Amino acid sequence: MLGFRLTRKNIPTGTQPSAIKRAEYASVEVPQIIGAATKKLAVDRRDSHPVAIELRRASRSFGDHVILRDLSLEVRRGETLVLIGESGCGKSVTTKLLAGLLEPTSGEVLWDGRPVRGRPENEKRRDRLRLGYLFQGAALFDSMNVFENIAFGLRENTTLTESQIQQIVHERLREVGLTDNVIHKRPSDLSGGMKKRVGLARALAMSPDIVFYDEPTTGLDPIMSGVINDLIIQTQARRHVTSVVVTHDMNTVRLVADRVIMLFPQNGLAADESQIIFEGSPHEVFESDNPRVSQFVRGEIRTRLM
């Protein structure tokens, strides 16, 4: 058990939420918040951990449009790395390169110190099963119900019996705070918060070592954003996974990050400037005196600095 409790949320006075939203607020399972001491322990130990995934001078273009240029970064095992930056700076492309969903135009991606490029396909397929990915819009299969979505990877990539798969699906649903009464629903029957949690359950179904979250709280109200943030913290602490989070939500940065990297659009930089304009702790990013960083963190309109 992951320590969830069933609570009834109060719907704000004067609002008329949809039936889906009423159902979600009526029976949302909210994870117990992990104490600050547990989170601090993970931060204190991260520097001694080996590198899980690495980009070395990686570039990625789409036609003539260059998104990433000579980007180098490391993700250490067991940490929660948060990528921030304005739209178009390459955050999602970076995570897709790290996860092997895209190949770099030039440069290298390394998993456990070994280049991904050139590996036999069966080896790459095996190693990809160690990765879980929560896409920005959850990316659930519309033609499948919740159970089938979560079971999909298990059915495609394992020899587990149907009984074993059912057990795992129910466990993952409980892990993300959903009850079994949603298993027959289709994505169109779910609210945004439910879709995110089903997407996370699917990402965790194969018990990955590394989990990627692409804008996990986008489009969610503050209550559901808090639930998702708590789930990210619980998943990292309970499973000891490595997490990479892409977000614009500075509350998510404050709550879940061990380390923060801020990217900047390469077309706004000088030829010799790195796209990484900040790397440090959550506290340091909020205290940064770099105007490009502080303007983003405070949500201010960026004036031309170049």
The predicted pLDDT at position 23 comes to: 46
Q: What is the pTM of this model?
A: 0.81
In a domain, 190, yes or no: yes
Torsion of CA 82, 87, 92, 94, to 10 degrees: -80
- What pLDDT is attached to residue 31? 46
Contacts of 243 (CB under 8 A, 6+ apart): 79, 80, 81, 210, 211, 212, 213, 232, 235, 236, 256
Is 17 a residue whose pLDDT tops 60? no
pLDDT reported for residue 277: 94
Report if residue 8 sits inside a domain: no
Domain membership flag for residue 159:
yes
Burial 147-167 (b: 16+ CB within 10 A, else e): bbbbbbbbeeeeeeeeeebee
Identify the pLDDT of residue 224: 85
**How many domains is the chain partitioned into structurally?**
1
Any domain includes 83: no
**57 domain residue, yes or no:** no
What range does the domain containing 169 cover? 137-207
**Predicted confidence (pLDDT) per residue in 88-118, tens digit:** 899 999 999 999 889 999 999 999 999 998 8
Most confident of 1-5, 12-16, 52-56, 63-67: 52-56
Of 72-76, 133-137, 231-235, 297-301, least confident by mean pLDDT is: 297-301
Residue 85 lies in a domain: no
User: Is the predicted pLDDT of residue 11 greater than 50, yes or no?
Assistant: no
- Average pLDDT score over the chain: 83
Grade residue 303 by pLDDT with cuts at 50, 70 and 90: low
Question: What band does 12 get if pLDDT is binned at 50, 70 and 90?
Answer: very low
- Which residues fall within 8 angstroms of residue 290, CB to CB, at 6 or more apart? 277, 278
Residue 6 belongs to some domain of the structure: no
Relative to beta strand 210-214, strand 106-111 is unpaired
pLDDT at residue 227 in the model: 87
pLDDT at 233 over 70: yes
Model pLDDT, residue 179: 86
Residue 202 lies in a domain: yes
Q: How do residues 129-181 score in pLDDT, each as one tens digit?
A: 899 999 887 788 889 999 999 999 999 888 899 999 999 999 999 888 888 88
